[in-house]
Chain A
């Protein structure tokens, strides 16, 4: 086996996933200075990105668990705000507003400390966790940075088309007004 030391330059998790096939490829290639430089650059990249994810088993689980925790933390506040909004917009005899009223009353019956925790502290912690996970992912994953840049570029192009923006505003506003009118018509 030629160039085993080159495979050893990669992180252990990377070797566990790609080591055998990478070694097989090295066995088929003559070891030249340019190949060594290329492999060293690849190994540095693999260390820097903390990925080579590739295989699901190699993905660090912590960010995924933290993301789920952040969603769970913010869920009560979202539920409460949605209920409050539906309750204020629709007549109470309409079923969704009735459900919203039940949820709203359940929150109102909670002690002040619990409300403060669920609607204040939990969303704040969720926000911090979400920012941390996103920041680490953007820092460590070149593909994520590329995706984010493409996403930003897409929005920049859309926002530079006033016709499209105005059409989107008109669509959202008219759909909202129609939904409100239909809801009241059904309820009334």
Chain B
């Protein structure tokens, strides 16, 4: 059984894109969602560092906030980037699992 510290958590940017693929969310909702589906606790500093970079690269955009919490959503470029990253991961996973099974 691998130790927890041996498993590198996925890139925060990828986790945020994956979280926003189900619809717009604000920072707190993203952290809760990521914690649920990936088991990763994104700290506020990590979360907003990644949000700033994703927004800068045009992969996500802010939605008009109802209160202090500002939701974000995927842009078309963000959707394409997520699909592209996931297809690479899918190939990697299926290849590695297939090799392990046949070894």
Residues of A within 8 A of B (CB): 14, 17-18, 20-26, 28-29, 34-35, 37-43, 45-46, 51-55, 141-143, 147
CB distance from A152 to the nearest CB of B (A): 18
Q: Is the interface on chain B under 10, 10 to 19, 20 to 34, or 35 or more residues?
A: 20 to 34
B67 to chain A, nearest CB (A): 8
Taking the closest CB of chain B, its distance from the CB of A63, in whole angstroms, is 13
Q: Taking the complex as formed, is B64 at the interface, i.e. its CB lies under 8 A from any CB of chain A?
A: no
A41 lies within 8 A of B65 (CB): no
10 residue pairs bridging A and B, Cβ less than 8 Å apart: A21-B69, A25-B28, A35-B44, A38-B44, A45-B45, A45-B49, A46-B49, A54-B55, A55-B55, A143-B57
Are B43 and A22 in contact, with the CB atoms below 8 A?
A: no
Chain A residue with minimal CB distance to B45? A42
Residue of A nearest to B42 (CB): A38
The digit string for B50-76, where 1 denotes a CB below 8 A from any CB of A, is 011101110000100101111000000
CB-defined contacts of A55 to chain B, threshold 8 Å: 55, 62
A34 neighbours in B (Cβ, 8 Å): 43
The answer on a CB contact under 8 Å between A41 and B56 is no
Is chain A's binding surface mostly helix, strand, loop or mixed? helix
Q: Is the beta-carbon distance between B46 and A42 smaller than 8 angstroms?
A: yes
Which residues of the other chain, A, contact B62 by a CB distance below 8 angstroms?
55
Q: Which residue of chain A has the shortest Cβ distance to B55 in the bound complex?
A: A54
Do A21 and B55 contact each other (CB < 8 Å), given the known contacts A35-B43, A43-B45? Answer: no
Are the C-beta atoms of A25 and B47 separated by less than 8 Å? yes
| CB <8 Å contact, A42 and B28 | no
> Out of A23, A29, A35, A51, which one reaches B52, CB within 8 Å?
A51
A42 in contact with B48 (CB, 8 Å): yes
